[in-house]
Amino acid sequence: MRIKYGIIDVQSDFLDGKGFDGVMTNYTPMMQQYLKIKAEYEDAFLFFRLGDFYEMFLDDALKASQVLEITLTSRDAGNGKERIPMCGVPHHSAASYIEQLIDKGYKVAICEQTEDPKQAKGVVKREVVQLITPGTVMDGKGLAEKKNNYLATLTVFDDGAYGFAYTDLSTGEMKATLLMSSLEHVLNELSLLGVKEIVIASQFDRDIEQKMKERLPLIVSYEDDTSQKPDFSSLLKLIEKEQLQETVARLLNYLVRTQKRSLDHLQSVEEYEINHYMKIDYYSKRNLELTESLRGKGNKGTLLWLLDETMTAMGGRLLKQWIDRPLINQNAIQARSSLVETLLTHYFERQELRDRLKEVYDLERLAGRVAFGNVNARDLIQLKRSLEQVPIIRKVIAQLNHKEASKLETQLDPCTELTERLGQAVIENPPLSIKEGGIIRDGYNRELDQYRDASRNGKTWLAQLEQEERKRTGIKSLKIGYNRVFGYYIEVTKANLHLLEEGRYERKQTLANAERYITPELKEKETLILEAEEKSVDLEYELFLSIRDYVKEFIPRLQALAKAVSALDVLQCFATISELRHYVKPTFTNDGSIFIQDGRHPVVEKVMAAQSYVPNDCTMDADCEMLLITGPNMSGKSTYMRQTALIAILGQIGCYVPAAEARLPIFDQVFTRIGAADDLISGQSTFMVEMLEAKNALTHATEHSLILFDEIGRGTSTYDGMALAQAIIEHIHDHIGAKTLFSTHYHELTILEQTLRKLKNIHVSAIEQNGKLVFLHKIKQGAADKSYGIHVAELAELPPSLIKRANDILSQLEKKKTGSTNGEDGAAIQPMATKEAEPIVPGAQLSFFADAVETKKRTSLSSKEKKIMEQLYKLDILEMTPMEALNTLYGLQKLLKK
């Protein structure tokens, strides 16, 4: 097979699947080596080391040249008939190119030379030393400072259970759980964690794999090895379930195979239960904008954005984890909020704590880099400075005199021995490179001091020799220099050569205008100086590696310290925000009642900084489990619903809440259906998404859940929508009993307050002033008196003529409803608006042909009309396309007019 790549014609027999035999001999030995290695990493870009460059060939070169916007060239393939595509990047700047590829969802296999080219017999040995993937990034721009980078694995067992495990390789965190429910819970976990890559078996269920790809922007990798190696025992010691052990083993085997280096920083796997936290499904997390905004998909405008006053990267990541998984254990919630209260009342201690935390480096990720072997001397200095803050932080915490603070104080390990070693060994401002010396302090190692002394004294001797030679010869321009090729030399211009003493100087190099010489004394010192400098650099590198190994012994202690520091950071963050935003400490009820006085939407309040936010109450108890909310668009119904959920979530993560007073139950789940958006990727309409979200809530909600439904049913016809809305309200009221906020524009539903004992009507008030609509954003008891839809259209600045026409039609409709046949201008009401929907009575049947039924009651129908009615009755409207429906309607109308 011949493949055309622009002007390059490539013979690709090997890629045709003919194997290595025969065909491989057509290529150079180096290309044969490349193709063999590439065959093992078909789904990754292979960065193949050639001298000072990483080269890519064939398809990799074509694709990389486009993605990275680098020059595409070609080289001889070896058989003399064709040239193959090639591109490359310099070794010293490869990191930035790798980051670009990983950020775009690709994998990169790093293939290094594993022997000295000078000593190689034939082709230099090469092998892949690491496979970098979106889920295994360890440093660089691919790692957001305050965001975890999760790699997950999933195993489906014969009994229907899902084994799920995940890790952040950069921090060493590992967790696992067994999900005995539906695939939806798995998808929810993947979404909640923002997983970048998932590892599955090669024979994994393709339907499930496809659903994961449709829901989430992740890449899929394969690993079939689930054997438990001896090295895994310490990591699996907390896991008893065999299914989970197998699941985690798959993940660990994948890491070992791809990373090919020490993973000493991985922590023992923690087993968790999703039922131990408040469940917030994928839809609700998105609708409430907890960690990602709906529009920009960024951080701004989210609850995380509002709360993040953390001072450390570790604290920022933990804050997101707490928002993702609010607590349901009341004692644990109160332990957090109690410490927040203490920090709130100790202003000066809190400010000192914030100042100290600001100086603390990312200990979690530093431990990972130490284990991986890519830590540098500057990292170690930052570690030392971080550890120096710990004794001060402990002293501040002790001043709080609080039980929970004392627990954290005992976990703040200053690692004194490590701090002292780093202070003794590494200079304060070391270079970035660890192989060029200048890292280790004087006095740390005697041998190094001797080399340095020889080097320094030697250079002093050289300066003295230069002065002596000038005096001896009388040549003032004589100088002693150095280069890598010839070493040290004495340089004399040709005009002064006659002044040199014969027999003393040995010519070393001739220049255009000068000669360079060596003397026996200079030669002796040169050997001493150069040996001292070379040995000094080599010894410093060895000493640095030994220091790094010493730091590695402290990894478990550093990780425990990091957990305590990050928890302290998040709690001070809660106290800071609570003081700044005037939040209050919530109390928790056991009877399921809600009392929120002057509640506010925390994010909207911050965004409206210059304006005054209108607070609202929310009261629900055993006699009121559902609030039916009516009122005009833009009046604040959705904001009121969201703020109730956000107040509950804030309370259950241990933070104060935006209200004057708050008494809350502990919710086990939060479900929302707010906003409307098509799911274009999976081909689902707005209404289908609406129904799926409603189904999720109706299926899984309990009496301890919170449900927010915003205008359910608006995505279909009026009668269908009202019927569905009423049925959903009745189902929640009669069968679930969850606290529910249900907003609607179907004013006919407000009559349900008369038949559903635990449903109450409330509305968002608005008034008309001089013909204009003014939103009061205040919640009041009872149902809204009208929709104000035309007023909202006027606020949106629709054409004045259109607004006037809409008001005329509305007036005609209202008069027709009360018996009038003409509007004020005498015009007949158009067919498209001949009748307004009747109120829905609980249990009553709705009809698509209400007008026809009323007509039949008033008059007897002709045989032709009866025939048309029969045809209408038999039509399956839901199965017709819009064009088919229009053609059918036109035909019936034509028949009726004959």
CA distance 304 to 291: 5
At 791, is the pLDDT very low, low, confident or very high (cuts 50, 70, 90)?
low
CA nearest neighbour of 345 among 411, 287, 399: 399
Tell which wins on pLDDT, 699 or 653.
Answer: 653
Structure confidence at residue 788 (pLDDT): 63
Tell which wins on pLDDT, 372 or 632. 372
pTM: 0.81
Give me the long-range contacts of 517-526 (CB less than 8 A, separation at least 24).
517/489, 517/490, 517/491, 517/492, 518/488, 518/489, 518/490, 519/490, 521/465, 522/462, 522/465, 522/480, 522/488, 522/489, 522/490, 525/458, 525/461, 525/462, 525/465, 525/488, 526/487, 526/488
| Residue bearing the bigger pLDDT, 675 or 819 | 675
Structure tokens at 391: 């004794």
H/E stretch holding 490 reads strand 487-493
Residue 134 pLDDT > 80: yes
Give the Cα-Cα-Cα angle 129, 87, 64 (nearest 5 degrees).
75
Which domains are seen in the chain, by residue range? 2-132 (3.40.1170.10), 151-276 (3.30.420.110), 308-415+554-581 (1.10.1420.10), 446-548 (1.10.1420.10), 587-787 (3.40.50.300), 847-898 (no CATH)
Report residue 668 as tokens: 């086990």
pLDDT in tens, 533-572: 888 999 999 999 999 999 999 999 999 999 999 999 999 9
Q: Does 635 appear as a known binding residue?
A: yes
Angstrom distance (rounded) from CA 310 to CA 433: 31
Residue 514 has pLDDT above 90, yes or no: yes
Mean pLDDT across 642-654: 97
Of residues 4 and 637, which shows the higher confidence score?
A: 637
pLDDT at 654: 97
Of 87, 61, 84, the residue nearest 11 (C-alpha): 84
What are the φ and ψ backbone dihedral angles of 131, each rounded to 5 degrees?
-110, 115
**CA–CA distance, 81 with 76 (Å, rounded to integer):** 8
> 172 near 368, Cβ under 8 Å?
yes
Residue 834 vs residues 717, 747, 806, 850: alpha-carbon distances, Å? 16, 19, 14, 11
Is 182 annotated as ligand-binding?
Answer: no
Give me the mean pLDDT over the 457-461 stretch. 82
Q: What pLDDT is stored for residue 823 in this prediction? A: 37
- pLDDT score of 850: 42
Give 878's pLDDT tier (boundaries 50, 70, 90): low
Query: pLDDT class for 849, splitting at 50, 70, 90?
Result: very low
Does 632 appear as a known binding residue?
Answer: yes
The pLDDT, as a whole number, for residue 117 is 80
Sign for the pseudo-dihedral over CA of 436, 439, 441, 443? negative
Q: What percent of the chain has pLDDT over 70?
A: 85
- Judge whether 631 is annotated as a binding position: yes
The yes-or-no verdict on residue 875 having pLDDT over 50 is yes
What is the pLDDT, as a whole number, of residue 9? Answer: 40
- Distances in Å between the Cα of 373 and the Cα atoms of 145, 439, 886 are 20, 17, 71
Give the 3-state secondary structure of 776-793.
Answer: EEEEEECCCCCCCHHHHH
Stronger pLDDT, 880 or 165, i.e. the higher one: 165
d(Cα 2, Cα 19) in Å, to the nearest integer?
16
Please say whether the beta carbons of 126 and 36 come within 8 A. Answer: no
Read off the pLDDT band of 825 (50, 70, 90): very low
Is 586 among the annotated ligand-binding positions?
no
- pLDDT 10s digits, 209-227: 998 988 888 999 999 999 9
User: Mean per-residue pLDDT for 377-401?
Assistant: 95
Alpha-carbon span 809 to 84, nearest angstrom = 73
DSSP state at residue 298: S
Nearest-5° angle of CA 851, CA 856, CA 859?
120
Cα–Cα distances in angstroms (integers) from residue 104 to residues 107, 217, 218, 318, in the given order: 9, 11, 11, 26
Element (H, E) at 48: strand 45-50
Mean predicted confidence (pLDDT) in 467-489: 89
Which range (361-365, 531-535, 659-663) has the least confidence? 531-535
How far from 684 is each of 188, 391, 521, 678, 714, CA to CA, in Å?
18, 57, 87, 6, 16
Q: Indicate the pLDDT class of residue 12, thresholds 50, 70 and 90.
A: very low
Is the pLDDT higher at 293 or at 584? 584
Q: Which helix (H) or strand (E) holds 669?
A: strand 669-673
| Residues 230-265: tens digit of each pLDDT | 989 999 999 999 999 999 999 999 999 999 988 889
- Average pLDDT over the chain reads 85
Element (H, E) at 162: strand 162-168
User: What is the pLDDT, as a whole number, of residue 764?
Assistant: 87
* DSSP code for 822: S
634 carries a ligand binding annotation: yes
Q: What is the DSSP letter of 679?
A: B
Question: Taking residues 728-745, what's their average pLDDT?
Answer: 93
DSSP H or E run through 616: strand 616-620
662 by DSSP, 3-state: which?
A: strand
Phi-psi region of 170 (alpha: psi -120 to 50; beta: other; left: phi over 0): alpha
**Residues 598, 617: Cα–Cα separation, whole Å:** 5
> What does DSSP assign to residue 88?
E
What would the mean pLDDT of 191-206 be, rounded to a whole number? Answer: 93
State how far the Cα of 225 lies from the Cα of 257, in Å rounded to an integer: 10
Q: Is 56 labelled a binding residue?
A: no
Q: Which of 251-260, 519-528, 666-675 has the highest mean pLDDT?
A: 251-260
Range with the poorest average pLDDT among 23-32, 92-101, 613-622:
23-32
Between β-strands 108-113 and 126-132, what pairing exists: parallel, antiparallel or unpaired? antiparallel
| 8 A C-beta contact, residue 377 and residue 544 | yes
CA distance linking residue 239 with residue 233, whole number of Å = 10
Cα 679 → chain centroid: 21
